[in-house]
Structure 1
Amino acid sequence: MSKVQDSAPVADTAPDSGPARGRPARGRRAGPGRPEGTSNVRDQILDAAELEFANLGYAGTSLRNVADRAEVTQALISYYFGSKHGLFEEVFLRRGRKIADERMERLEALRRGPAPPPVRDIVYAFLMPALAMRETEGGRTFMRLQARLHTEPPEISYKLRNEAYDASTRIFAAALKEALPHLSERDVYWRMTLMIGAYLYAFSDTHRLEELAPGICNPGDPDEIITEISSFVSAGMLAPVPEPARG
């Protein structure tokens, strides 16, 4: 397939004509109009970049590699995303926001029930959107990208994690605190963070469990993995508060 050319519409330069019609102002999240005849090219670029970033990390990925994989020109990538950093942001937030939104939908559904939701149901609502995404081809790539994000420099990773997840994670922490009155806020956030670490590893296709226990465990089975991780995390959430360590 030949590369999609940089055929973006030419901006209208007539006096007092307002913003250029061919190239909208670069708002932080607004995507520009697609060049005529390439209706899926933006997603094509995002999919290619997602795979490159997941495999090579931010520093190891070049726009040239993304362009080659997406079969477009580098100029077209710049047209849509401005820079490699802009592309990385769009790649991460595309699915990260979806996970956060689905978590909130599940939690709100639990809260509409006749009784306060139990801990295991809250844990399940937090974990299931990421697992459901993992069951798609692009979602599996995103799980690896998300795990890798924690090894990226702070100037790359902190802002993206905060933007995608902070609001919903704090709401889940409050729900867990309500369900676990014996825990302090500090305890809840520690246990939430350990849950996040567990699911990032478990959902990231490291294949470590198959190596350790070949033919015994099947982390590729979504029912098996959600049962095991929900049981593990719920038990950790419900554990008594440990006594302070004595030196």
Structure 2
Amino acid sequence: MANGTHFSTKDRILGAAEELFAQHGFAGTSLRQVTSRADVNIAAVNYHFGSKENLVNEVFRRRMDEMSAQRMARLKLAQERHPGELEPILAAFVEPALAMAQDRHGGGAFVRVIARAYAEKNDGLRKFLSDHYGHVQRDFGRAIGACLPGLSKEELYWRLDFLGGALTYAMADFGLIKRPEGVTETAHRERGARELIRFAAAGFNS
């Protein structure tokens, strides 16, 4: 029973922080607001996270660990089943991110948190993300580079950057293409993934 309480308290704090960071940004959200939204006291936040910076990092870790693991598993499969093919590698990068964004349990809020991270230029968070998830980007860079040996490293990383921007935009659903009536969210997401993968493949191959 104690374990269940332990995890539910931590998850409540993370969920509340994610929603508030999405609405107000990192600088604009106080720990008092988080404790009020989560219905816990400040001691619980300090016990589980120690500081606001750690809380920000853990909001990202909660989503990014699973998404990164899915990406790496999909990348390994793509390389085994479709050696030398670019689009399966791009699918391994794109599809887990779009699935996470559509997650009904706060996926949309987390996408807004990512947008806040871009806007606020939080150096501590950037270091945390680079330290913990930079290897994912590098592994995909190597895999894509192996498919396109004529591409210089500089060109490759410019295009990876552009893919990341396009993917974040697609995750946020800011685009002109809205889900048509009668089309499920899953079907709409799958279509978006296919179009983005084709677009990215053309960009990498140009």
Which has more radius of gyration? Answer: 1
CA apart distance, 1:160: 2.5
Can you list the C-alpha shifts for 1:149-183, whole angstroms capped at 9, x where unaligned?
11223423321320342101101101111101121
Aligned counterparts of 2:37 and 2:55: Cα–Cα separation in 1: 14
| Residue 129 of structure 1: aligned partner | 96
Please say if residues 56 and 125 of structure 2, whose CA atoms lie closer than 8 Å, have aligned partners that are also in contact.
no
Show structure 1 runs of 5+ residues with no match: 1-33, 240-247
Aligned counterparts of 1:214 and 1:106: Cα–Cα separation in 2: 26
Aligned counterparts of 1:76 and 1:203: Cα–Cα separation in 2: 32
CA apart distance, 1:42: 0.6
Can you list the C-alpha shifts for 1:93-151, whole angstroms capped at 9, x where unaligned?
121122222111111112222x5141111111011111111121222221221222112
Please say if residues 133 and 139 of structure 1, whose CA atoms lie closer than 8 Å, have aligned partners that are also in contact.
yes
Query: Residues 214 and 120 (structure 1 numbering): CA distance in 2 closer, same or farther, change over 3 Å?
Result: closer
Aligned counterparts of 1:62 and 1:131: Cα–Cα separation in 2: 30
Query: Residues 37 and 89 (structure 1 numbering): CA distance in 2 closer, same or farther, change over 3 Å?
Result: closer
For residues 12-51 of structure 1, the aligned pairs below 5 Å read: 37-51=5-19
Q: How many residues align?
A: 201
| Residue 242 of structure 1: aligned partner | none
CA apart distance, 1:63: 0.9
Moved beyond 4 Å, runs of 4+:
34-39, 213-216
Aligned counterparts of 1:168 and 1:37: Cα–Cα separation in 2: 33
TM-score normalised per structure 1: 0.74
**Higher share of residues assigned helix:** 2
Q: Among residues 63, 74, 78, which one is paired with 1:110 in the alignment?
A: 78
Show structure 2 runs of 5+ residues with no match: none
Considering Cα pairs closer than 8 Å and 6+ residues apart, tell me whether 1 or 2 has the greater RCO.
2
TM-score normalised per structure 2: 0.88
For residues 1-247 of structure 1, the aligned pairs below 5 Å read: 37-113=5-81, 115-137=82-104, 138-206=106-174, 208-209=175-176, 221-239=188-206
Aligned counterparts of 1:66 and 1:104: Cα–Cα separation in 2: 33
* Aligned-pair identity (%): 36
Please, what is the CA RMSD of the aligned residues?
Answer: 2.3
